[in-house]
Structure 1
Amino acid sequence: MNSETITAKDSGTWKLGDLTVNRIGFGTMRLTQDGAALDPRAVPSDRGRALSVLRRAVELGVNHLDTASFYFSRLRSANELVNSALAPYPDDLVITTKVGPGRDQHGEWTDAATPDQLRGQVEENLRQLGRDHLDVVNYRRQRPGSIAEHFGALAELREAGLIRHLGLSNVGPEHLAEAQAIAPVVCVQNKYGLGAASPESDAFLRSCGEQGIAFVPFYAIAGHAGERGAAGAAQDAEVLAVAAAHGVSAAEIRLAWSLHLGPHVLAIPGTGNPAHLEANVAAGALKLSDEELARLDAVHRA
């Protein structure tokens, strides 16, 4: 597979409300620093390299970016990098942001936002991105219990024109039903990946598709050997075997597998490495055989 001839358009498209996006997107969380994401002690990333990765992503047809005002390191802000690299924004670029979690100026996590504080988080994203509205805002659930008050606050901002579409993150079917009773939901962003899911999350992914809602996994390319010992190592070995047959990395196979789960599944792999970006985009066009999908499904269920 020649990644230089493949663009995100080859992954197919899906609609977030009235906004059409290519199914391979880009997550900005890892752009701001080297090492562990959102670790206040991590070394800030090279600014020039981060800007070039963003610009290259758009050149490769990526038109769905995932970001947030709380994605920052000591010297870098993901939103500022997006603004500096890409503004004035292409007409087809869809920027998805996330609100709910709180971080102080030092990067330490604070209490989650109250419903009244969500407007401030939305306005901060608007300011940093240089936009007069946000394409999609995901409410990331931080506490157990009802999300109605928080989601209702965002629905009011949608009615006011500050937000075009709404989504959810870190939620279950009961939260989605609660939110849908208040305002339309165009996407669900949950932790999900090959070998790192459950029957409940598998069913939720399928249910989102049946409702016409995008499912956006944010754990799609991680391996599990370190977490699950010998069993995880055996599973990763299976993934590597499929990868070797295609001459690609395990990360590309994990991405391709997730996209095979349904046309409503979107991918937002993030990286600060230009070569990894090209490989991630190329994974959107990777075709897996029925036999390979069966092997990977067995890994997933193990």
Structure 2
Amino acid sequence: MRFASKIAAAASGALLLVALPVGAQAQSKLDEVLARGHLIVGTGSTNAPWHFKGEGDVLQGFDIDIAKIVAKGLFDDPEKVEFVLQASDARIPNVVTDKVDITCQFMTVTAARAQQIAVTIPYYREGVGLMLPAGSQYADYAALKAAGSAVTISVLQNVYAEELVHQALPEARVDQYDAQDLIYQALDAGRADAAVTDQSSIAWLLVQQPGKYKDGGYGWSPQTYACAVKRGDQEWLNFVNTALHEAMTGVEFNAYAASFKKWFGVDLPPPSIGFPVEFK
């Protein structure tokens, strides 16, 4: 009898082990955030137009607006968000260790990063461009390229900087500087004919200083910006993706478009009605 009882007990235990993971499923970050009552977002504070402190020490920028769009989706209130200021090298660790619910900090998507965290759908496509003085003797990219070695390009110092410039202007002279503002100073002082920088930076400077610079009209080296969440929580990833998707294509488009116009000076065409644009 005791043997039979042990068998029955073992069988019962086995059933419990099988059933337990289903009943004890880990709570999604979505439920955790809703219960807390506000969203915790990791971001930066020193890179306009993405995330920076403006008048009154108020944090602002396109990344900040993206985070507020997610908060609006959660609580119908874009202000229910707490920002954790972090360095770029903390973007992934702070998500992995649950210090933040999500990182929105102009993070370039790579396959290597996607092994560490789950990346959301893209909310911006970055690239490199050419910025010229408004009164430059060169009209645009085509004129710079035609000038060959007669043009000098300023660029932020990097092991790939010369290669990056020569992808667009194979014969140009390249001057590297160790700070972003120095590449613009070289342009202003006439030491450079054009500056190579992120296209978002060009758009931002054209908004902030109208009439001073012009866009060379050529972009290359594309990269995707997306938010990051912790791996293994599909419900949370699905929610954030839905919030971003509807900001770019649906009910929250006006908020996304207004932010895009504010920081990049571009009027986005509204999503077409009818067949979903995602499948065209």
**Fold match (TM-score > 0.5):** no
Higher RCO structure, 1 or 2 (CA under 8 Å, sep 6+): 2
TM-score interval (norm. to shorter)? under 0.3
**Larger relative strand fraction:** 2
